[in-house]
């Protein structure tokens, strides 16, 4: 029995319309995309340098152009040390090297705590035949050193007020060691402004002879000897010396210690004045003035020490 060939199913009118609409819509969208692409190339291609003879990206006029580095040298980092100065008028290479060294001392003195060396370097630079620009820099550098010295003296006065006289003396000695006249002048002027004796004077003060009152028994003191300090109490006292109890590696000892080796935690004005007189009796003018400076900064001390200031 023979079979008749099957005929393909005929599409309905709705499906035929949908297919026709989809094909037309796709062709229109493709055409629109091509048009947009052409417009984009025409608008932006010249600015991006895609076409021959186009200008390419242009720099922002508000941003200054960056200067190219010299190929003959490398760029120096921002924190690199300054280059040595060129030789000045009539100056050889050795003198220029010495000048560079002195400038390094001046610049590092405030941060390194070597103010005396900084002032000495300024004085030596001042005697040189510096270029005009460096002379102006030297004036500014010297003003910076003076400001740093005034701050150091303020810290020294605070140490005195607290009774840390030997610590203050170490600072003062380091400042005055070089004998720089500018340092002595600033120390003297600062002392006058602060109402304390001239800490830069080295002579024995012309005070009347006074036998100081001894410290009270049981008074807390700090004994400073050979660069070391020991906190203890007074067991017995004389005008110029005290007996203290010290604990050492070999046990307890009771040495007799000169009052010039003592510091007083939380000093009273009368105690500081007594130690000032004791230091003068011992022939130590610097220590006498330091204890007087401690005295006049304490409550009631200005009246006690008024007659001794300036002597």
Helix (H, G, I), strand (E, B) or coil at 227: coil
**Could you state, in order of their start, the residue ranges of all structural domains in the chain?**
93-194, 220-308
Q: For residue 82, give the DSSP letter.
A: P
Residue 38 has pLDDT above 80, yes or no: no
The answer to whether 187 and 283 are in contact (CB under 8 A) is no
Q: Which residues is 221 bridged to in the sheet?
A: 232
- The C-alpha atoms of residue 118 and residue 10 are separated, in whole angstroms, by 108
Please report, rounded to a whole number, the percentage of residues in the chain having pLDDT higher than 70.
Answer: 73
- The C-alpha atoms of residue 276 and residue 271 are separated, in whole angstroms, by 9
Lookup: tokens for 88? 């000045």
| pTM of the model as a whole | 0.66
The answer to whether 47 and 57 are in contact (CB under 8 A) is yes
- The C-alpha atoms of residue 207 and residue 123 are separated, in whole angstroms, by 35
Question: 185-237: per-residue pLDDT in tens?
Answer: 999 999 999 999 999 887 888 898 889 999 999 999 999 988 889 999 999 99
Alpha helical stretches, state H, the chain: 13-44, 93-112, 115-126, 132-161, 165-176, 181-194, 269-281, 285-296, 301-305
Q: Which residues is 222 bridged to in the sheet?
A: 231, 263
- The C-alpha atoms of residue 176 and residue 199 are separated, in whole angstroms, by 10
Mean pLDDT of 139-160: 93
Task: Give residue 40's pLDDT band: very low, low, confident or very high (50, 70, 90).
Answer: low
Q: Among 98, 298, 292, which Cα is nearest to 205's?
A: 292
Mean pLDDT of 239-260: 92
Query: At 299, phi and psi to the nearest 5?
Result: -55, 125
Question: 56-67: per-residue pLDDT in tens?
Answer: 555 555 444 544
The answer to whether 262 and 221 are in contact (CB under 8 A) is yes
Q: Who has greater pLDDT, 156 or 48?
A: 156
pLDDT score for 307:
86
pLDDT score for 67:
45
- Number of helices (H) and strands (E), helices first, in the chain? 9, 7
The answer to whether 239 and 213 are in contact (CB under 8 A) is yes
Q: Which residues contact 305 (CB under 8 A, 6 or more apart)?
A: 269, 273, 276, 292, 295, 296
Taking the mean position of all CA atoms in its chain, how far away is CA 276?
34
What is the chain's Cα-based Rg?
A: 43
Burial of 303 (0-12, 13-18, 19+ CB in 10 A): exposed
Q: Among 170, 172, 133, 173, which Cα is nearest to 153's?
A: 172
Lookup: tokens for 81? 């040390």
pLDDT score for 171:
92
Question: 262-297: per-residue pLDDT in tens?
Answer: 999 999 999 999 999 999 999 999 999 999 999 999
- The C-alpha atoms of residue 216 and residue 262 are separated, in whole angstroms, by 14
Task: Give residue 126's pLDDT band: very low, low, confident or very high (50, 70, 90).
Answer: confident
pLDDT score for 75:
37
Residues comprising the chain, all counted: 311
């Amino acid at each position: 029995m023979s079979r008749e060939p099957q005929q393909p199913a005929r599409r309905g009118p709705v499906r035929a319309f949908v297919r026709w609409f989809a094909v037309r819509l796709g062709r229109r969208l493709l055409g629109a995309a091509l048009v947009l692409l052409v417009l984009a190339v025409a608008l932006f291609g010249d600015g991006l340098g895609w076409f021959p003879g186009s200008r390419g990206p242009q720099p922002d006029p508000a941003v200054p152009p960056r200067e190219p580095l010299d190929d003959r040298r490398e760029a120096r980092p921002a924190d690199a040390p300054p280059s040595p100065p060129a030789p000045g008028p009539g100056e050889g290479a050795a003198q220029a090297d010495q000048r560079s060294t002195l400038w390094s001392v001046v610049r590092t003195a405030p941060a390194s705590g070597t103010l005396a060396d900084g002032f000495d370097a300024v004085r030596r630079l001042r005697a040189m035949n510096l270029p005009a620009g460096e002379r102006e820099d030297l004036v500014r550098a010297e003003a910076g050193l003076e400001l740093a010295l005034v701050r150091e003296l303020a810290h020294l006065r605070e140490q005195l007020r607290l009774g840390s006289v030997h610590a203050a003396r170490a600072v003062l000695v380091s400042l005055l060691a070089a004998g720089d006249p500018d340092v002595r002048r600033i120390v003297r002027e600062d002392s006058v402004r602060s109402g304390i004796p001239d800490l830069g004077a080295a002579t024995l003060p012309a005070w009347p002879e006074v036998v100081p009152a001894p410290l009270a028994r049981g008074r807390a003191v700090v004994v400073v000897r050979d660069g070391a300090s020991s906190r203890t109490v007074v067991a017995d006292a004389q005008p110029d010396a005290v007996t203290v109890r010290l604990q050492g590696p070999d046990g307890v000892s009771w040495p007799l210690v000169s009052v010039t080796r003592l510091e007083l935690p939380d000093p009273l004005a009368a105690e500081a004045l007594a130690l000032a007189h004791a230091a003068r009796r011992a022939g130590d003018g610097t220590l006498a003035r330091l204890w007087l400076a401690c005295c006049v900064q304490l409550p009631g001390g200005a009246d006690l020490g008024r007659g001794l200031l300036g002597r």
